[in-house]
């Protein structure tokens, strides 16, 4: 059985989609943790802040969860043809300790999903490129949903099965 870390970039429809992945994982006997990146309310990453211990946030709890999980599922809406600042920002903070960051990401199975306004294809491409770049193994199957398209339960099930291998 696998332990999934499900990270949602926003707290609305994408949190609901994250819950669907959690339910699917649980129904297959897997465990999971959902982390809402917007609830972390991190300060915006700047190099100056990252060098100031009084301003740099403690990322150890998230790093531990990312390290100990067997696979990650990243859920994010499309913002202006890419992903939202919450996701970009958390990756910047995590990569401060870039050697450990690389080690943590290398070979990690990752699934990507979105609930977006009208599109969603661009945020999936952006996440695929980003997570591949940092060394993760992004699986081919992905979940796209939106205002006029429900998330396909068969896709969610297949992604859980692929990631749990």
Question: Is 60 a residue that touches ligand FMN (CB under 6 A)?
Answer: no
Question: Is 86 a residue that touches ligand FMN (CB under 6 A)?
Answer: no
Contacts of 128 (CB under 8 A, 6+ apart): 112, 138, 142
Contact pick of 32, 69, 95, 116 for ligand FMN (by CB under 6 A): 116
Query: Closer to ligand FMN at the Cβ: 2 or 156?
Result: 156
Considering only CA atoms, which of 117, 152, 157, 141 is closest in space to residue 22?
157
Q: What are phi and psi of 106, to 5 degrees?
A: -65, 120
Helix (H, G, I), strand (E, B) or coil at 63: helix
Contact pick of 29, 118, 150, 154 for ligand FMN (by CB under 6 A): 118
Selected range binding ligand FMN among 19-27, 61-69, 111-119, 131-139, rule: CB under 6 A: 111-119
Question: Is 78 a residue that touches ligand FMN (CB under 6 A)?
Answer: yes
Contact pick of 117, 129, 132, 153 for ligand FMN (by CB under 6 A): 117
Is 118 within 8 Å of 146 (Cβ atoms)? yes
Q: How far apart are CA 150 and CA 145, in angstroms?
A: 5
DSSP 8-state code for residue 42: P
Binding site for ligand FMN (CB under 6 A): 10, 12-14, 77-81, 115-120
């Amino acid at each position: 059985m696998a332990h999934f870390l499900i990270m949602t970039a926003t707290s609305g429809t994408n949190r609901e989609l994250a819950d669907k992945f959690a339910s699917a994982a649980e129904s297959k006997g897997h465990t999971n943790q959902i982390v809402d990146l917007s609830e972390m309310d991190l300060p915006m990453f700047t190099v100056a802040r990252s060098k100031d211990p009084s301003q740099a946030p403690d990322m150890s709890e998230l790093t531990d969860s990312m390290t100990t999980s067997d696979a990650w599922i990243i859920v994010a809406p499309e913002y202006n043809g890419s992903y939202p600042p919450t996701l970009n920002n958390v990756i910047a903070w995590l990569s401060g300790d870039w050697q450990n960051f690389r080690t943590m990401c290398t070979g990690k199975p990752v699934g990507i999903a979105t609930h977006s306004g009208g599109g969603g294809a661009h945020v999936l491409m952006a996440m695929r490129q980003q997570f591949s770049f940092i060394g993760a193994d992004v699986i081919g199957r992905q979940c796209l949903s939106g205002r006029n398209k429900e998330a396909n339960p068969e896709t969610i099930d297949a992604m859980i099965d692929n990631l749990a291998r």
